[in-house]
Structure 1
Amino acid sequence: MSIIYKQKIKILFQALACAFVLFTTSARAQSGSQLTPDSKAVIQLGNARFTVLTDQLVRLQWGQPASYDNRASLVVVNRKLPVPTFTTRTEDNWFHLKTKKIELAYKINSGVFDSTNLKIRFLNADTVLWKPGQKQKFNLKGTYRTLDGQDGELNLYSRQKIQLEDGILSRDGWFFLDDSQSLRLDNSEWPWVAAPGTPKLDWYFWGYGDDYKSALLDFSKIAGHVPMLSRYVFGYWWSRYWSYSDNELRELVQNLKRFDVPTDVLVIDMDWHTKGWTGYTWNKNLFPDPSGFLKWTKENHLKTTLNLHPADGIQPTEERYNSFAAYMKADTSQKKPIPFEASNKAFMRGLFDIVLRPIEKAGVNFWWLDWQQWPNDNKIPALSNTWWLNYTFFTDKAMHGQTRPLLYHRWGGLGNHRYQIGFSGDTFMSWESLAYEPYFTSTASNVLYTYWSHDIGGHILKGNEKGVEPELYTRWLQYGCFSPIMRTHSTKNAAIKKEIWNFGPEYAKAQHDAIRLRYALVPYIYAMSRKTFETGIGLCRPMYYDYAKQPESYIYKEEYMFGDNMLIRPVTTPSKDGFAAVKVWLPSGNDWYEWQTGTLLKGGQVIERSFSIDEYPIYVKAGAVIPMYNDKVQNLDTLPGSLIIGVFPGNSGKFQLYEDNGNDKNYESEFATTSVTTRSIGAEQMVNINPAVGKYHSMPSRRKFTVKLFGTQPPSKVLLNGKPLQFNSEGRDGSWNYDGSDLCLNIFLPDKDCRVAQQVRISYKGAQQPGITAGLVERFKRLSMITVALKSGDNGNEGMYIPQNLGFAEETNRLLGYRPDNFQRYLQQFEHSYQQIPDELKLIRQLDEQKRSKLISLLQ
């Protein structure tokens, strides 16, 4: 069987599996046939029933068999899973059920489950034993409804520290879910909330040890998978609470384009409508022709979301009040508001069909739903309004929308991962808030709520602050590049300006670079989002998912994995003398490439590193392959015609690029994957780009690849499919060049059929020099900083004098790009000149001692 044929078979099975998963999470399937488990998985012992769902997940029910409730609950929406292998036996009046991972024992005819008649042990750890009533000691936590009023962990309104809800994961190695009293969904076409059934107990137990990923996968199997987000969601969102008009937004977008800031989502807060808090009628003073405005946003490849606060119901002043009232058979003679009722199916259907659908059809892509009023429904006290609004808005869009359903709202509780993006609320603008968000975000993956969207830069000024603090906002935006959703936002305050053109050049450049880096990484991020859909593992995940047996993974909480191959340690404290210091733990098991300084670091150590404002602590696994877009991308509406294959220093690596239509509902079966592998042996390196496998609507048939090898020396020879490529400094198709600033080899492959394999073979003159990945990129940057400081004119020389050795060393990176054939000689000269620079600086009379010492320190 050929490799390509095997790949096609694999893709087919993946598609079938994904189709099954999606069906289980659709509106109808939440109460449909997928809820009845296979009879082979069920063991009935009188009033006790055990259902084996996976090797480590068992459902335990007690009650009259005729009353067992197999409807979907608000949490559990699927129970029909492949039956795992298990055995049963009876011994000394005890019933034993054994899978590959756990063994359950129940004393026959002993009554309702309790600590005396039921126990479950882990087969790979005899000391771990669970009994009913047992409490966890080491839960790793989940998430929380909102960060409103938070200043880091502390809420400035309540003066209390935030207490996150418990999550699925615990160092105890097990999780227990009591679903007995959970509300259910009925069997109607649009499944609606219903009371729980009569069985006394309806429990679920996981025993996973420290295999955290398997626990989350099992939870996603019964609670529904995290739906795929549209590709544009991973772009930059512009958002601000401001009374924007049509004219102002057009000027804003024009300026964003002028400053080369790619943008995909335009968030318009509550002033789009009339009558303050709740409203559904456009404010014609700001938007005289809403349909014309939405036509313009679409033409500019902007997706639009509007803010909704539905608590005040439908007011008599709304354009569609009379139509809605007639539908609800309400008395309109006194023009009274029609109260909001989330659990009233007729009210919600009318809200969507009569009030919101016309706005959607005009061009609104999704809703920003913001519920902040009474927590639970007035008619069904156990029903969370936040949870139910998430369900109704998402499932309505799934049933009636033409594109992928999407919702942007607050966390409503377990099971809300099916409704994707969380709005975390109104934090204070402080370093403490920035420092808390990485932990908060990654920990939410413990309940599959993997797509938090924060107000980047913070929402509210703290204390006596007069405006945005440039360094804090820049660091926050850099963190936003490596968070699930990159959305800036703030309260309605004229002093809070986050547009890039309001900052000095140093900060503006760093902000621009952060947004550009986000767009460059979208192919990697999108592939990771597919993994989230298939496995439940979040894009931003705690370190213990991958390094559970290393104690540091539980200690360094600000660090997190960004997908499979990147470790991020955000900068969360202000700089000193131009550099911010961070302490980072690098797990053992592989080495790590500090991307922005060009330094290869050994795993298994804790080190302190420093970063200038335009640098960020990004650690890439040695040998990793990272697909990227180039800097020409302005939006994510369509796939670019070219793609960069980033290859990082290391012996070998691989990556499976995932692509689909980007916004349709067919992604479960219509997608394509392209496998890329690399291998280094001696003085040769190979990069294989395998044929694309699969198909989707609007899939490009051809593509240009650029293979970008980081931290490497220039080659002696480059072969593409056995044919030599020549050096060309301009980087034309079918050539290679060398970027001395980043020590990168760029190989430009010509336009090619996506279904044809390509192989790049690179030969070097001898083994790679260790010095290339020993921070040389950072030394080049610091030399430029010294040169700029000398030319600044504040030392009396008016920028006219640059010492000889400094001048040569600072320009060496450029020489390497012009003449890579002289690489060894230039580096030798560089090292010699670099050693002379401190003495040269000491001879510049115009420098005072403080500045001279500061410049010399940059060389160390």
Structure 2
Amino acid sequence: MLLVGLAVPLAIAANREIKAVKSTAVSNGLEVVDGLSRLRVEFVRADIVRVQYQPDGQLTDNGTDVCVAHRKRTLPLTYSDDLWSVSSDSMTVCIDAATGAVSYYDLHHRLLLREHPRCPRSAEKVWQEKITYDETSRRTAHTANGDVAVMDVLRRDTIGSTFRYRTYFDWTATEALYGLGSHMENYMNLRGKKMYLCQHNLKAMVPVLNSTAGYGLLFDAGCAMVYNDVADSSYVEMEAARQIDYYFIKGRNMDQVVEGYRWLTGQSPMMPRYLFGYTQSKERYCSSQELLDIVGEYRKRQIPLDMIVQDWNYWPAGQWGRMMMDPKYYPNKRMLADSLHAMNCRLMVSIWPNAQHCPQYDDFNSRGWILPGSSVYDAYRADARSLYWDYANREFFSNGFDAWWCDSSEPIDGDWNNPVHPDYGYDNHFERWQINTKVLSDVLGAERSQSYSLYHAMGIYKHQRQTTDSKRVVNLTRSSYAGQQRYATITWNGDTYASWKTFAQMIPAGLNFMATGCPYWTVDVGAFFVGPDRWNRWFYKGEYPDGCNDPAYRELYTRMFQYATFLPMLRSHGTDTPREVWRFGNPGEPFYESIVNHIRLRYSLLPYIYSMAAKVSNESYTMTRALAFDFVGDSAVYDLKDEFMFGPAFLVAPMTRPLMAYGKASRQVYLPQTKGGWYDYWTGIRIEGGQTIDAPAPIDHSPLYVRGGSIVPMTAPQQYADEHPDAPYIIKVYPGADATFTIYEDAGDGYDCERKGYVTYTLHWDDSHRQLSISARKGSYKKMVKRRQLTFVMPDGYQQTVVYDGKKAIVTLTANN
């Protein structure tokens, strides 16, 4: 089979300036033509501008399916007399008549962003290739990422051209930038950095930037990219695209930028309540009986659990990646699912895009739906996505399985499978980008080399939605792209190795990913690779060969668990050593007790977390968030890599150094200035903001603070998320400033929530009068809880209980003497 491959240089038209005689008004914007080249600046919403440029004048977009369709309407705009600027009721866009540089201003004519005034963009024409593979050379390589098909390249044929583009930006000295996805490179604020953007086991590329200056950028192309803000040259480079195509999103704050991004690319659907409990996984459970025994042990120990995961290699021997469970070890799939459901536990299963040596592969191959040089199915084809779903549905979903783990959705890694030089390692970012851009471009085509995961997720989501409305889609996947959040995906950070260094890198990687507008991200608690391997591979560098029997690893695992308690999904997973709670000690021992207590804390916080999940879906909120979201005026938070907010209330400061080596059970924590100050969650002691403190960090817990002026709805921990739908709530009120929190409730699963099948009621704290008002309940759903006990608790221990029946009420909370 043949496909467009990696783009290579043809001719250079770098630093090409537009020397236009005039600008022309077009629908909702301006257009500038210089010879063949064409620049179009178009409002798609009053606060969102699309910029397109093509040196040959053909504005055809890049064919990515990143953005969702919106009905085009004429916006009320004001054009300058010379037609070099245009304004909406939100902002003004100006084009430099000499160079074509685009600048963006707010209504007070404050500069938000501008392209470089002398050199705004460049275009370099590059060849595209078709790759012909030698089918007779097909062989299987056994790798840490499973079995992969390998073939030799027979020839490369030049078949046309595309462009490598750079858009140069003149960012302001004081702004911070976040986003671009999840990359294990230890960057928080992206100013002054260079990042090579591609899909990889340890890299999930999302080409979105979110600025503290009040705007965001979405680059709508499917190719590899480079972000550069070093050496006096700031640009975003697209390696193979038909045209420059980016969106400028104005926002009063970073949350509003996320709203604009999701308006462009699609909202994140409501996740089921069970997802926000605890998920137990490892590489791997080997039979139905083992899955049942593990869940039974959790129930026996009364440790909360909502989902267990079946990882790979459940298929018959020699049929790698086949969506079929070996009946020798999994004799009855329906009975397995039913038995887990009887214990109130859901089941997630790992599925792969690259089946081999089995009837499933033969079926796809006979239809021509395998990507060249691989065994990966062609997810860009709607009919191939439909066939893939048929296999997944027949084997799993129709038998009661609940959730998907779409592993290896890049879907190819060039340096995970092949030998590289001895000095190659985690920090070889440019070389990693080169290797993986090449292999992805060879197989997928350079113009779409990074977007496979978007289409793979699309197929799962759309077909499950067509199959039933009673079960919400959950798709844990290793890769991501702009727009993928609309397909109910959670991305994790890949197969990391266990060390304190990599643990610390996970925190900014996740915060940058979620700053793009993709809200759901998680990690393998404990990291995937725990010990080193015998082949000394660059990625397999775990520092704990004795695994969970090593007290040093138990400490790292416990600290990672404390951190992950405040991620959108709490999940343990990895190879080399078991991951169940009881592997880390016995009841009464510190590691065991800390892990169990954090699981119980997670379940206590479910009313708070689930209400935030609704806010994610209905208000484009970000649950786990960089401090700059909430404290944009405080530049001290811009590059803090090891603190973040969990919703509006909690400041989380994970402990990322070992007590055994560090010898000090505390860490420095910066508390931003805020009117109500901060409360130590563990002690209730109030602390002023605007200072760095030495915060206690015993092995029991990491530092955790609550912003004064917060309302946190909680409940008693349950064994699973839906055990007691009518359980009383404990409403913790942290005074110091007025506060508002809206509680959301629904059935917990199914899509009635999209048809107004939910209720909300708002709690408002009036700090000066020490009164908490409860609004009248809005909405309804089947089997809704009509009466609920609410106990309001103050940090000083004062509490008062009411029974809420949906009617407006006011409660006065006086302090203890």
The TM-score with structure 1 as length reference comes to 0.69
2:596 corresponds to which of 495, 498, 512: 512
State the partner residue of 1:816: none
The 1:490–1:161 alpha-carbon spacing in structure 2 relative to 1, beyond 3 Å, is: closer
Aligned partner (choices 168, 178, 199) of residue 209 of structure 2:
168
Secondary structure of the 1:487 match is strand
Whether the 8 Å contact between 1:520 and 1:631 is mirrored in structure 2 is yes
Write out aligned runs for 1:683-832 (5 A). 685-707=770-792, 709-712=793-796, 744-750=797-803, 752-753=804-805, 755-763=806-814
Q: Which residue of 1 aligns with 2:79?
A: 88
Establish whether residue 541 from structure 1 lines up as the match of residue 625 from structure 2.
yes
- The amino acid that maps onto 1:533 is S
Match of 2:14 in 1: none
Which AA in structure 1 matches 2:279?
Answer: W
Query: 1:534, CA displacement in angstroms?
Result: 3.3
Looking at secondary structure, tell me which structure has more strand per residue: 2
Cα offset, 1:121, TM superposition: 3.6
CA–CA distance in 2 between the matches of 1:72 and 1:164?
18
Please list every run of 5 or more consecutive structure 2 residues that lacks an aligned counterpart in the other structure.
1-25, 122-167, 188-192, 225-239, 414-439, 531-541
Match of 1:341 among 378, 381, 392: 378
Q: How does 1:357-756 map to 2 (within 5 A)?
A: 357-371=394-408, 372-373=411-412, 375=440, 378=443, 380-383=445-448, 384=450, 385-402=452-469, 403-419=471-487, 420-461=489-530, 462-463=542-543, 465-468=545-548, 469-493=553-577, 498-499=581-582, 502-503=585-586, 505-575=589-659, 580-590=665-675, 591-636=677-722, 639-650=725-736, 652-668=738-754, 669-681=756-768, 685-707=770-792, 709-712=793-796, 744-750=797-803, 752-753=804-805, 755-756=806-807
1:149–1:426: 8 Å Cα contact kept in structure 2? no
Residue aligned with 2:51, SS: strand
Deviation at 1:63, TM superposition (A): 7.7
Distance 1:756 1:228, change over 3 A: same
- Contact 2:62–2:222 (CA under 8 A) maintained in structure 1: no
Describe the SS at the equivalent of 1:90. Answer: coil
Q: What's the secondary structure of 1:267's corresponding residue?
A: strand
Give the AA of the match of 1:421. I
Q: Distance in 1 between matches of 2:219 and 2:379?
A: 25
**Which residue in the other structure is 1:352 paired with?**
389
Which consecutive unaligned segments of at least 5 residues does structure 1 have?
1-38, 184-196, 331-336, 713-743, 770-860
CA deviation string 1:231-279 (max 9, x = no partner): 1111100001124322222221122112221111111111322236412
Deviations 1:532-587 (A, max 9, x none): 22343311111111111211111322111111121111111122698621111111
Does the CA contact (< 8 Å) of 2:208 and 2:218 recur in 1? Answer: no
Q: Conserved in 1, the CA contact under 8 Å of 2:186 and 2:504? A: no
Question: Which amino acid in 2 is paired with 1:104?
Answer: V
Partner of 1:51: 42
* Aligned twin of 1:97: 86
Distance in 2, Cα, partners of 1:696 & 1:529: 17
Residue 140 of structure 1 contacts residue 167 of structure 1 at CA under 8 Å; is this kept in 2? Answer: no
State the secondary structure of the residue aligned to 2:502. Answer: helix
Greater shift, 130-139 or 625-634, is seen at 130-139
Summarize deviations over 1:451-500 as a string: whole Å, max 9, x none: 11210122222235412322222221111111111001120446x66436
How many residues of Structure 1 are paired with residues of Structure 2 in the alignment?
Answer: 656
Partner of residue 283, structure 1:
326
Contact 1:660 1:696 in 2 (8 A): yes
* AA in 1 matched with 2:761: T
Q: Secondary structure in 2 aligned to 1:310?
A: coil
**1:635 to partner: Cα distance:** 2.9
Q: 1:245 aligns with which of 287, 298, 301?
A: 287
Cα distance, 1:628 vs structure 2: 1.0
Per the TM alignment, residue 644 of structure 1 is displaced from its structure 2 partner at its CA by 1.8
Aligned residue identity for 1:451: Y
Q: CA deviation at 1:220?
A: 1.2
Partner-residue secondary structure (3-state), 1:240: coil
Of stretches 220-229 and 501-510 in structure 1, the one that deviates more from structure 2 is 501-510
The structure where helix makes up a greater share of residues is: 1
Deviation for aligned residue 1:52? 2.0
Structure number with greater CO (CA < 8 Å, separation at least 6) is 2
Amino acid at match of 1:595: Y
- Within 1, Cα distance between the matches of 2:242 and 2:286? 54
Residue matched to 1:6: none
Give the aligned residue type for 1:695.
S
Counterpart of 1:142 in 2: which secondary structure? strand
What residue identity is the alignment partner of 1:573? R
Q: Rg larger in 1 or in 2?
A: 1
Distance 1:651 1:424 in 2: 37
Offset at 1:632? 3.7
State the superposition RMSD in angstroms.
Answer: 3.9
**1:342 positional shift:** 2.7
Q: 1:283-306: per-residue Cα shift (whole Å, max 9, x none)?
A: 222222221111111222211111
State the AA in 1 paired with 2:447: A
Contact (CA 8 Å) 1:343, 1:380: kept in 2 or not? no
Whether contact under 8 Å (2:59, 2:243) holds in the other structure is no
TM-score, length-scaled by structure 2: 0.72
Trace 1:320-331 onto structure 2 (pairs within 5 A). 324=363, 328=367
CA distance in 2, matches of 1:166, 1:380: 18
Q: Is the 8 A contact 1:543 1:561 kept in 2?
A: yes
- The Cα offsets for residues 572-629 of structure 1, whole Å up to 9 and x where unpaired, read as 1122698621111111122011110221010111111113222331111113111112
Q: Percent of pairs identical after alignment?
A: 22
Give CA-to-partner distance per residue, 1:777-822, whole Å, 9 cap, x none: xxxxxxxxxxxxxxxxxxxxxxxxxxxxxxxxxxxxxxxxxxxxxx
Rounded to whole Å, the distance in 1 between the matches of 2:241 and 2:511 is 37
Residues 129-155 of structure 1, C-alpha deviations (whole Å, 9 max, x = no match):
5233332556624254675999xx999
Determine if contact 1:342/1:389 at 8 Å carries over to the other structure: yes
Residue 169 of structure 2 corresponds to: 135
**Equivalent residues of 1:596, 1:616 under 8 A apart:** no
